Amino acid sequence: MKAGLVGYAQTGKTTLFNALTGQNVQTGGAGKAKSNLGVIKVPDERLTRLTAIYKPRRTVPAEILFVDVPGPRTKGSGIDGVTIQALQEMDALAVVLRGFPALDATLAQPVRELADFEAELILNDLAVVERRVERLVKERSNDRQKAVLTQCLDHLNAERPLRHLELPAEDEREISSFAFLSRKPLLAVLNTTEANVVTPIPEDLVAACHDRRLEVISVCASLEAEIAALAPEEQAEFLAGLGIAEPASALLIRAAYALLDYISFFTVGEDEVRAWQVYRGSKAPKAAGRVHSDIERGFIRAEVMAYEEFIPVANEAKMREIGKLRVEGKEYVMKDGDIVNFRFAV
């Protein structure tokens, strides 16, 4: 599963990507038309607290894949085919909106950029749906798909993203192969100026995102890149100086994680404290399979503690004593923050 940093050209996507991944891809000017791919560790203060309790040899965070998708190469409006194709491959989109004056002093217009970008996604889907429906009508085939697509068509014609269209699972399957852009989970990221890092997000943008049912996050990509380059101790000091607890990139990563529909569970011990991702709604054997395929195959049961309940007690034996170490079977649906010990036999 991949989260794309997407949006128009020169909005700071690559700068942000570098800050997030610690890579050093060239930014500015004639950006390459190639996507950049990076693995990002998901910051999670629960992992820090579990590490303090278990003092393991190593601590391993969950990871997600980010892709820096270059903005459209074409001047003016319209997203070119190469960019569209790159967007199609993403599982979730974080649209980066320019909140700083451009090099040629063009003012920031994040609200307009967001509206334009979403309109592009909708128009693109509309073209795909129209072509397909036309063909199905001509061929007099696949009535089921035609019905679902007609519903999509009405929705798109009303300028609404397909994200807002609720479909039963069997209808969803009919259209999943189209990879509709306006159906992908979307997050708005305002790339603001350094002077504005602690100022609230402008009201008009908050309102626009609220109307679109989008979460919006504010970061200053160039500042994030500076922070990322500092040693850990210096980072804390730097953030304290700014009056913030953690870099905005941490927020962004967690938002992207949720956007991809991941939740975290933990395995703990003297050797390793580790966060693992599973899709929301996954059952215990699936989660076991993340750790090792043998554990999924030989799954017997899961011993589960809720993170929130564990922290005040901080002792497994005591948790068992007070009945807060649950034994769960194959049908158990994993919850975010579960601390799990899998029992299995191979």
Residues at the contact surface with ligand GTP, assessed by CB under 6 A: 9-15, 27-28, 31, 70-71, 100, 191, 193, 220-222
Side-chain half-sphere exposure of 335, counting CA atoms within 13 A: 12
CB within 8 Å of 219: residues ≥ 6 apart: 16, 189, 190, 191, 192, 248, 249, 251, 252
In the bound state with ligand GTP, the residue whose beta carbon lies nearer, of 182 and 191, is: 191
Concatenated DSSP letters of 71-131:
PPSSSSS---HHHHHHHHT-SEEEEEEEES--TT-PPP-HHHHHHHHHHHHHHHHHHHHHH
> Is the Cβ–Cβ distance between 56 and 268 less than 8 Å?
yes
In the bound state with Mg ion, the residue whose beta carbon lies nearer, of 33 and 236, is: 33
**Minimal distance, residue 191 CB to ligand GTP, in Å:** 5
Binding partner of residue 124 among Mg ion, ligand GTP, none, CB cut-off 5 to 8 Å per kind = none
> Is the Cβ–Cβ distance between 61 and 277 less than 8 Å?
no
Strand, coil or helix: what is 230? coil
> Is the Cβ–Cβ distance between 325 and 303 less than 8 Å?
yes
Binding partner of residue 191 among ligand GTP, Mg ion, none, CB cut-off 5 to 8 Å per kind = ligand GTP
Binding partner of residue 228 among ligand GTP, Mg ion, none, CB cut-off 5 to 8 Å per kind = none
Binding partner of residue 145 among ligand GTP, Mg ion, none, CB cut-off 5 to 8 Å per kind = none
**Minimal distance, residue 13 CB to ligand GTP, in Å:** 3
Binding partner of residue 221 among Mg ion, ligand GTP, none, CB cut-off 5 to 8 Å per kind = ligand GTP
**Minimal distance, residue 27 CB to ligand GTP, in Å:** 3
Binding mask 61-100 for Mg ion (x = CB under 5 A): ---------x------------------------------
In the bound state with ligand GTP, the residue whose beta carbon lies nearer, of 61 and 72, is: 72
Binding partner of residue 22 among ligand GTP, Mg ion, none, CB cut-off 5 to 8 Å per kind = none
**Judged by CB under 5 A, does residue 182 bind Mg ion?**
no
**Minimal distance, residue 196 CB to ligand GTP, in Å:** 10
In the bound state with Mg ion, the residue whose beta carbon lies nearer, of 8 and 266, is: 8
Task: Report the distance separating Cα 330 and Cα 333, nearest Å.
Answer: 9
Q: Considering only CA atoms, which of 204, 29, 230, 175 is closest in space to residue 111?
A: 204
Residue 113: other Cβ atoms inside 10 A: 21
**Minimal distance, residue 332 CB to ligand GTP, in Å:** 43
CB within 8 Å of 322: residues ≥ 6 apart: 313
For the chain, give me the number of helices (H) and strands (E)?
14, 12
**Minimal distance, residue 99 CB to ligand GTP, in Å:** 8
In the bound state with ligand GTP, the residue whose beta carbon lies nearer, of 191 and 282, is: 191
Q: Distances from the Cα of 15 to the Cαs of 1, 22, 178, 226, in angstroms? A: 22, 10, 31, 10
Task: Report the distance separating Cα 21 and Cα 225, nearest Å.
Answer: 10
**Minimal distance, residue 102 CB to Mg ion, in Å:** 14
**Minimal distance, residue 220 CB to ligand GTP, in Å:** 5
Q: How many residues bind Mg ion (CB under 5 A)?
A: 4
Residue 208 Ramachandran class (φ > 0 left, ψ -120 to 50 alpha, else beta)? alpha
Binding partner of residue 247 among Mg ion, ligand GTP, none, CB cut-off 5 to 8 Å per kind = none
Q: What DSSP element (H or E) covers 249?
A: helix 248-259
**Judged by CB under 5 A, does residue 14 bind Mg ion?**
yes
What single-letter amino acid sits at 82? V
- What residue number has its CB nearest to Mg ion? 14
**Judged by CB under 5 A, does residue 31 bind Mg ion?**
yes
Strand, coil or helix: what is 24? coil
In the bound state with ligand GTP, the residue whose beta carbon lies nearer, of 152 and 223, is: 223
The residues of the shown chain that bind Mg ion, judged by CB under 5 A, are: 13-14, 31, 70
